[in-house]
Amino acid sequence: MPTRSAYEYALIRAVPRVERGECINVGVVLFCRERRFLASRMAIDEPRLRALAPDLDLELLHEQLGHIPIICAGGRAAGPIGDLPAHERFRWLTAPRSAIVQPSSVHVGLCADPESALERLFAQNIAKNP
């Protein structure tokens, strides 16, 4: 059996009207220190969001979510935060905020392959169910 490593993850939520607190999961960010892995996966269910907030600026939401994978990758494209170590970028991405894009609480798990864990969490929490 492959060695399992601890990981942390948070769901990324779209909260169209912060004062109402209603949200839809639109992504997941996963960090595994031992495997030096930090990545995200995003998908927006536009019809569900339109039902919740017909006047939501989807273009702006796509733009904001597009920054998350860039920050996960690090480097110059992510701006000053891209120079931080992966664990600090993960903490920055999962810090509580009052904005249209918000992280859930951080959760933990064990996996042999962080990429597979990310895909499983994405399928369970974000991907459209048939």
Cβ atoms of 15 and 23 within 8 Å: the answer is yes
Residue 95 lies in a domain: yes
How far from chain centre, in Å, is Cα 25? Answer: 9
pLDDT, one tens digit per residue, over 78-96 is 999 999 999 999 999 999 9
Q: Dihedrals φ, ψ of 61, to 5°?
A: -65, -45
Q: pLDDT at position 125, please?
A: 96
Question: Residue 14 class from Cβ within 10 Å (0-12 exposed, 13-18 middle, 19+ buried)?
Answer: buried
Residue 130 pLDDT level (bands cut at 50, 70, 90): very low
| Residue 32 falls inside a structural domain | no
| Measured distance CA(111)–CA(3) in Å, rounded | 8
Q: Is residue 60, in this structure, part of any structural domain at all? A: yes
pLDDT at 129 over 60: no
Residue 93 lies in a domain: yes
pLDDT greater than 90 at residue 18? no
pLDDT at 1: 61
Residue span of the structural domain in which 100 resides: 39-130
**pTM across the whole model:** 0.93
Mean pLDDT of 25-42: 97
Average pLDDT, the chain: 94
Question: What are the Cα distances from residue 118, in Å, to 11, 57, 86?
Answer: 11, 27, 16
Looking at the 3D structure of the chain, how many domains does it have?
A: 1
* Residue 79 included in any domain: yes
34-56 residue pLDDT tens:
999 999 999 999 999 999 999 99
Give the residue-averaged pLDDT of 64-80: 97
